[in-house]
Amino acid sequence: MQDWISMPLVGFPLVASIVLLAFVSNADDAMRKRLSNPIRMATLIFSLVMLVITTGLFFQYFGSLSWEGISFNSYNYINRYNWIESLGIHWTVGLDALSFPMVWLTTFLLPVTIIATWNEKNGALYFPIVLAMGGALIGVFVALDLFMFYVFWELTLIPMFFLILKWGGKDRKYASQKFFIYTFTASVIMLLGLITLYFFQDPVNPLQYSGSVTGRTFDIGEITQHALNENGKGWYLGANIQKILFVMLMLGFLVKLPAVPFHTWLPDAHVQAPTGGSMLLAGVMLKMGAYGMFRLPISLFPHALQYFQLVLMAIGMVSLVWGAVVCLGQTNLKKMVAYSSVSHMGVILIGIATMQPMGWAAALFMMFAHGIISPMLFAVCGAFKHHYHSMEIGAMRGMAKHSPWLATSMMFAWMASLGLPLLAGFVAELMMLIALWYFLAAEGWSVFWMVGPALVLAITAGYYLWSMQRTIFEGGDETQPPESLHGEPVPDITNPEKLAMIILAVFTIVFGVMPWIALDMMHDWTAEIFKGLILPILGGFNGGA
Amino acid sequence: MASKESAPLVHSEWMQFAPLIILLPMMAFAVILFLGHIFNGHPFWKKNLKEGGLIALPVMAASLVLSLLLISEFLKGNSGVDQIFEQIAWVNTGVWNGGSMIEPVSLGFGIYVDHITVMLLFVASFLCLLINTFSIGYMNTDPINDNRNHRFYAEFVLFCSGMLGMVLADSFLWLFIFWEIMGLCSYLLIGFYYERPSAASAAKKAFLTTRIGDVFLMIGLVMLWDLFGSLDYAVVFATENIDAVAAESAGTLQWALGLMFIGAVGKSAQFPLHVWLPDAMEGPTPVSALIHAATMVNAGLYLVARMFPFFGAESLHGDLDDLAFVIASIGGITAVMAAAIAFVQMDLKKVLAYSTMSQLAYIFTGLGCAMYLANTLDWHHNDKDHYIVIVAFGAALFHLFNHAMAKGMLFMASGSVIHEVHHAHHHLHHHDDHHDDHGDDHHDDHDDHHDDHFDAQSMENMGGLASKMPITATAMLVGSASIMGLPLIGGFWSKEGIIANAWRVAQNDPRFLLPAMCVLIGAAMTGFYMSRMWFKTFAGKPNNEVAAHVGPTNTWIKTPLFILTFVTLSSIIFAGMGFTHWASDTEYSFLSERNLLDGIIYEMDHAFANSDIFFFILTYIAIFMGAIVGPGLAMALYGGKLAEGEEAKPWMRPIIALSAWFNDRFHFDNTALRESTLATALENRLYIDEYYDKAMINIVAGFSNKVAETDAEVIDGTIKAIESGSQSLSTIVRSMTTGSARDYILMVAVGTLALFLLIWGVA
C-alpha cells in the first residue's frame, strides 16, 4: 500500500464528517430524520473501508514482521506534508508496531460502535461525530510530529465533548465540562513540556536541524534519534530538565490514562456519556495516555524513567488495587465498569514500571485487549440503560429470563474482563504478573508486593460475579424487572446490538486463543526499544558512561 | 537456563489425533449452542436429538475412543513420557536478566502423556461419556428443563473439553488455563437454574472460593516460572534443571509448590476452602456427578500428583517434607471434618458432597504420604524403598480411580432416586389435584417448577426403595461399599493402602500421627455415614406416601449405573493389573510382566496376610472400623425391613435382614445426641460458612464501601474544591470590574507602585 495511506485514514473521516455535519446543520428536523439512515449507512461504509485498509496493512506488512524486521524508532508508511516549514512543523505520519495496533483498533471499533448504537437518537448528527472521533484518534496515533500530535490530541476532546453534551445522561453538562477541563488542563501541562522540548537544546550536543528557520524541529523521529544518541552518553538535556520534562509529559498522560488519583473525571464522563461515546472513550481514548507514554517520555527520557520507576510502580499498584476496591463499593453498573477500567489501566502502568520487555509487551497487549473488551462492557451497560432505563445493580433481578442475549453478552464481557484464560485479557495479566515478579526479584523486594495484584484478581471476580448475580440471575419464577420499565414487557437487545456483541466476542476469543497475531509485533517492538534504549543505560555497556 | 531437549518426541499413527480429544468437545460446544438457539423447541430437536444430548454423546464417545487409542499406544510404547508434537508457541516475549541480552521466552502448548495422564484421561473420558448418557435420561425427562437443555449439553461438553485438556496439557500454564475453563463451566452449570437465588449464589460462591485458591496457584506458577524459566513439564521435570534449582533455591521451590497446593485445595474443596462444594449441589445431578464428584474436583489431586517429580528428585532429598506434611494434614483434617458433617445431613446429595470432600481428603493424605516417602527415603538406590514409594503413590492414584468411578455412580444413582421421587410426588400431587379441584390446571403448571413444601432430595421423603428401584439400589450399595472400603470391593484396595502408608510415615515422623489417626478414624466415620445413607433411603418402610409410589427408572439412567457397578466390583482385577503400582516407572508399570492371576493373588496376599505384623494388625483394625463399627451403628439406628409385600433382589435381602436384626437388637435412642451442641454445630457446617459470610459482609463490603466513599469525597472532592475555588476566585476578580473610572485609576496606581517596588527590590 502507498506510503501516504495514513493521511487519508486521518483526513478522510474528519473531512467527511465536517461535510456531513455542514450538510445536516442546514436541514430542519424532518429532513434530519430522513437523512439519518443514509448518513448512518454512509458512515458505516466509510468506517468499513478504513477497517479494510488497516487490515490490509496488517497482511501486507505488520502481520509478517520478524524479530529483525524493525528496529526502534523506525517507521513504515511514512509520509510528510510540510506545513509551517519555518518553524519546523510538518504533518509527518508513520506507523510502527506501537501505533499500528492502536490504529487498527480504532478502525475496528468505529464500525462496531456504529452498529452497536444503530438506533441512537438524532443519528444525522451523531454518526458523523463518531466518525470524526475516529479520525482524530487515528491522527494522534499516526502523528510523528510533536505539534500535530498535540493538535490531534486536543482535537479528540471536541467530538467527545459534544457526544457527552448532546447525547449524555442527566448530568451531562457537568460531566462534559469536567471531562473537557480536567483533561485539557493536564494537556496544557503536557503542551508546556512539548514546547520546552522544542526549544530546549541539549547542552552538550545540541540538535542541528537545518530544515527550519528556528533551527528546531517538532519531528518525533529526529528528536528521538538525537535523544537516543545522547542518552547513551548521559542524561539527554541534562538530568534536571529531563526529570522535569518527564514529569510534565507524564502528568498529561497519567490523567488521560487515567491513574489514581487523577481518575475521577472518568466515572463521571462514562456514566453520563452515551454508549457510543463510552465505547470509544474506554476502547481507544484511554489508550492515548499509554501510547503517549511509550512514544514520548519513555522513548526520550529513559534515564528519568529509571529514576521515577518506583513512583510509576506505586501509582500503578495503587490504581490497580484502588480501582478494584472502589468497584466493589459501586451500585451503578456503568460506574463499576468505569472503575474497572481504572484498575486495568493500573496493569498497564505496572507493566511499564517493571522495565522488562515482557512487562512492556504486557502493557501493549493490555492496551489492545482492553480496547476490545471494554467496548463490550460498555455496550452491555448501554443496553441496560437503553432497554431497562436503569443501570442500578439492585434495581432488578432475573433479567436473563427475559433478555437471554443481553445476559449472555454480559456474562461473556464480564468473564473476559475478569481475566478468564483464552480470552484476550488473560495473556496481558499473566505476562504482567511474570514481569512484576522479575522486577521484584531484581530489586530484591519482598514477595508480598505480589499480594496487591493477586488480590485484585479475586476482587475483580468478586465484583463482576456479584453484579451478575444481582441483575441477570435470581428472581425466582417472578422476575423483578426494574421499576423504570413501568411494567412494560422486558425487551432483549436489538439485532444490531447482537451483531456488535458477537463481533466483539469473536475477536476477544480470537486474540485470547491466538494472542500472537498482535503480540508478536508488540514483542518485537518492545525488544527493539529495550535493546536500543534501556539496555545501554541499564546494562552499562555500549558507552554507558 | 533450561533446555528443552530432554523430551523424546514420538510420532505414532494415532497420537497425532490426540488434540481432537480436546477439540471435538470444544467444537461440539459451539455446534450445540448454535443449533440449540435456532431449533429451540422444535420437535425434531427435542425428540430425536434430545436437545443436543445426542450430539454430545457421539462426540464424547469419539473422545473416549481416541483416548483409549492414545492410552494403548502409550502403554505399548512403554516409554515413560511421550510428547506428541512440537509445542505450538502461544506467547512469545522476552525478559531481561540483568545481562546484555534479552532472553526470548515462549509459552507454548503441547500434549504430554505419562502414567498420571493416562489414568486421569481414562477416568475423565470414560465418566464423561457415561454421565452424558445418564444426562439424557435425567435432564430430558424433567419438564423444568424444557427448552434449556441445549445450554446444559453445550456447557457439559465444554467442561469435558476443559477436563481432557487439563489432563493432556504439557505445561503447568496450560493446566491452569484449562483448569479455569472448568471453573467457568462449573460456575455456569451450578447456576443452571439461575433464577433460583440459592443456585445463583452457590455458583458465585464456587467461582469465588476456587478463585481465591487460583490466585495463590497463579503466584506459585509465576514463582515456578522464575525458578525454571518455563512451565513445561519437560523442562521443570528434567533432572538437571531440578538439580540446578535445588542447589540454589530449594526453599523457594517449596514455597512455590505450597502456593500451588493452595490452588489445589480450592479446586478439590479441602479445608479451609471447602465451603463451595456442598452448595454446588444446586446444580443438576449429572453436573454434581461429573464435575463435583468424579472429574473437576480431581483436578487439584492431579496438580499435586504432577508435583511428584519434585518430591522424588534426588537433589531435593529431605527439602520438601514440610510441604508433604501440610498436604497430608490438610487431607487428614478435611477427611474427619467432612465425614462428621455428613453424619447429620438429610439431603441425599449433600451427604454425597461431604463424602466426596472426605474421600478427596483421603487421596490428599495418600499423596502427601507418598511424597514424604519419596522425599525422605533413598528410593533411587534402595529397591525396598523404591517399592514402598511406588506403592504409596499408586495407592493414592488408585483411590482416585476408585473414588471417581464409585462417586460418579453414587451421584447418578442418587439422581435416579431424586428423579423418581420427584416424579412420584408430581404424580401424586397431580392426581390429588384432579381429585380435589378439577378446574385449576393453571395452578398445576406452576407446581411443575418448584414446590417449596416438598424436597425431593431429602432422605426424609425416601425409605424402603430397595424393592422399587433394584438397579439403582444395587448401584448405590456397591458404590457405598466401595467408598467405605468393604473388603474386596472397589475402594478397599486403595484405602487400605492409604491408611497403611500414613501409618508407615507416622512411624518415621511423629508429626504424621495426625493424618494417620484422622484417616483411621475417618474409615469408621465413612462406614457410618455411607451406611446411614443407604439404609435411610433403601431399607425400612417408606417414610411417606410419595416414597411408596416411586417407580423404576429409564434405560438411559440404568445403563451407566450398570456399567459402573461392574467396574467398581471388578476393582480387584484392576488392582491385579498393577493399578496399585501406578507411577511413571517402567519397572512397576501397568501391565507388567506378571499375569493377571498372579497379580490378584499377590494383592490378596498383601492385603489380608501381610508379613509385617504391624501392617497385618492395622489392616484388620481398619477393616473392623470401616466395615463393622460404622455400618453396625448405622444399622442399629436406621436399619429395618421393607414394607409388607415388597421383595428386594436376592443380593440385597441379607443386608436388609441383617440391618433389621441389628435394629431390633441394638437400637438406641439417639435424640439426646442429635440435639447436642456438637450435632447442631455439624448441621451448621461448624459455622465456617457463617464466619466467611460475616467476613465478606463486614470486612470486604464494609471496607470497599469506605473506599468508594473516600474516592468520591476526598479525591473527587479535592477536584470539586479546586473547581469551586476557581469559580469563587473568578467571582472576586469579576467584581473588580466595576466600570467606575475612579476604581481603575486606583488599581493602576497601586499596580505601578507594586511594579516599581518589585523592580527596585530586585535591582
How far apart are the two ends of chain B, measured CA to CA in Å?
68
Determine the pLDDT at residue B584: 55
Under an 8 A CB cutoff, do A461 and B208 touch? yes
Q: Distance from A380 to chain B by nearest Cα, in Å?
A: 19
Domain extent listing, chain A: 1-262, 308-474+494-545
Best CA proximity match to B212, nearest among A467, A465, A425? A465
Rounded mean pLDDT of A93-98? 90
In this predicted model, what pLDDT tens digit does every residue of B309-368 receive, in sequence order? 899 888 888 888 899 999 999 999 999 999 999 988 888 889 999 999 999 999 999 999
Cβ pair B195:A475 closer than 8 A? yes
| Residue bearing the bigger pLDDT, A122 or B447 | A122
> Tell me: the pLDDT tens digits for A504-539?
999 999 999 999 999 988 988 888 888 888 888 775
What local confidence, expressed as pLDDT, does residue B583 receive?
Answer: 59
Which of A182, A358, A474 is facing B200, going by the closest CB pair? A474
Q: Which amino acid is at A286?
A: L
Q: Which region among A343-347, A398-402, B175-179, B515-519 has the lowest average model confidence (pLDDT)?
A: A398-402
B179-202 average pLDDT score: 90
Of B92, B105, B197, the CB nearest to A474: B197
pLDDT of residue B582: 66
The rounded mean pLDDT for chain B is: 84
A502 touches chain B (CB under 8 A): no
Nearest beta carbon to residue B92 from set A461, A523, A535? A523
Beta strands in A269-326 (DSSP E): none
Q: Which residues contact B5 (CB under 8 A, 6 or more apart)?
A: none
pLDDT(A247) > 90: yes
Handedness of CA A386, A391, A394, A395 (dihedral sign): negative
Of A357, A465, A520, which is closest to B204 when you measure between CB atoms? A465
Least confident of A67-81, A406-420, B103-117, B622-636: A67-81
CA distances from A532 to A365, B133, B410 (A): 21, 61, 64
CA-to-CA separations, A275 to A122, A132, A278, A376, in angstroms, rounded: 14, 16, 5, 10
Interface with chain B: mutation pick from A354, A426, A465, highest number of B CBs within 10 Å: A465
Is the predicted pLDDT of residue B103 greater than 90, yes or no? no
> Do B204 and A472 make contact, defined as CB atoms within 8 angstroms?
no
Residue pair B470/B649 in contact (Cβ under 8 Å)? The answer is: yes
Q: Interface pTM (ipTM) of the complex?
A: 0.92
Residues A471-512: pLDDT tens digits?
888 877 777 888 888 888 888 889 999 999 999 999 999 999
Does the structure show a pLDDT above 50 at A240? yes
Cross-chain Cβ contact B218/A458 below 8 Å: no
Task: For helices B298-306 and B149-168, give the axis angle rounded to 10 degrees.
Answer: 10
What are the distances in angstroms from CA B542 to CA A97, A439, B487, B546?
74, 67, 30, 8
Half-sphere exposure of B460 (CA within 13 A, CB side): 8
d(CA B33, CA B148): 10
* Exposure class string for A504-543: b at 16+ Cβ within 10 A, else e: bbebbeebbeebbebbbbbbbbbbbbbbbbbbbbbeeeee
d(CA A340, CA A325): 9
What's chain B's Rg over C-alpha atoms?
31
Q: Which of B1, B27, B92, B96 to mutate to test the interface with A (most CBs of A within 10 A)?
A: B96
Quote the percentage of chain A above a pLDDT of 90.
Answer: 50
pLDDT band at B80, cuts 50/70/90?
Answer: low
CA distance to partner chain B, nearest, from residue A454 (Å): 6
Q: What is the DSSP string of A162-225?
A: HHHHHH--TTHHHHHHHHHHHHHHHHHHHHHHHHHHHH---SSS-----SSSSS---BHHHHHH
Each residue's pLDDT tens digit, B674-691: 888 888 888 888 888 888
Give the pLDDT mean for B54-64.
Answer: 91
DSSP state at residue A394? G
- The pLDDT value recorded for residue A496 is 92
- B82-83/B102-109 β-pairing: unpaired
Q: Indicate the average pLDDT of chain A.
A: 88
Q: Hey, what's the cell of B657?
A: 435382614
C-alpha cell at A184: 485539557
Lowest mean pLDDT among A97-106, B255-264, B426-435: B426-435
Grid cell listed for B467: 424393592
Residue B587 pLDDT: 52
Q: Does A535 touch chain B (CB under 8 A)?
A: yes
| A193 pLDDT above the threshold of 70 | yes
Nearest CA in chain A to B723: A178
pLDDT classification of B379: cutoffs 50, 70, 90: confident
pLDDT at B443: 39
Please give the Cα distance from A119 to A114 (Å, whole number): 9
Q: What is the pLDDT of residues B199-246, one digit of tens each?
A: 989 999 999 999 999 999 999 999 898 888 888 888 888 888 888 888
Question: Hey, are the CB atoms on B700 and A326 less than 8 Å from each other?
Answer: no
Assign 3-state DSSP to chain B and report helix, strand, coil percentages, each to 5.
Answer: 75, 5, 20
Give tens-digit pLDDT for A119-146.
Answer: 888 888 999 999 999 999 999 999 999 9
**Chain A CB contacts of B194 below 8 Å:** 398, 400, 472-474
Contact B90 A516 (CB under 8 A): yes
Query: Residue B574 contacts by C-beta under 8 Å, 6 or more apart in sequence?
Result: B398, B401, B493
Interface of A with B in 308-327 (CB under 8 A): 322, 325-327
pLDDT of residue A316: 93
DSSP secondary structure, B234-281, as one string? HHHT-HHHHHHHHHHHHHHHHHHHHHHHHHHHHHTT-TTS-THHHHGG
* Residue range B585-599: mean pLDDT, rounded: 61
Q: What is the mean pLDDT of residues A456-462?
A: 91
Distance from CA of A125 to the nearest CA of B (A): 31
Give the integer Cα–Cα distance in Å for B387 and B383.
Answer: 6
> Between chains, do A415 and B93 touch, taking CB under 8 Å as contact?
no
Name the amino acid, one letter, at B382: N
pLDDT band at B447 (very low <50, low <70, confident <90, very high): very low
Q: In this complex, is the C-beta atom of A454 within 8 Å of any C-beta atom belonging to chain B?
A: yes
Q: Which of B396, B196, B425, B187 is nearest to B311 (CA)?
A: B396
- pLDDT at residue B655, rounded to an integer: 86
Q: Which of B94, B212, B703 sits opposite A357 (nearest CB)?
A: B94
Is the pLDDT assigned to residue B82 strictly greater than 70? no
Name the minimum distance, in Å, from the CA of B48 to any CA of chain A: 25
**Contact A431/B93, CB-based, under 8 Å?**
yes
- The pLDDT of residue B444 is 39
The answer to whether A462 contacts chain B (CB < 8 Å) is yes
Residues 51-80 on A with a CB inside 8 Å of B are none
- Lowest pLDDT segment from A76-90, A248-262, B79-93, B171-185: B79-93
Joined grid coordinates for residue B151? 445450554
Shortest CA gap B346–chain A (Å): 24
Tens-digit pLDDT profile for residues A15-64: 999 999 998 888 888 888 888 899 999 999 999 999 999 999 998 888 87
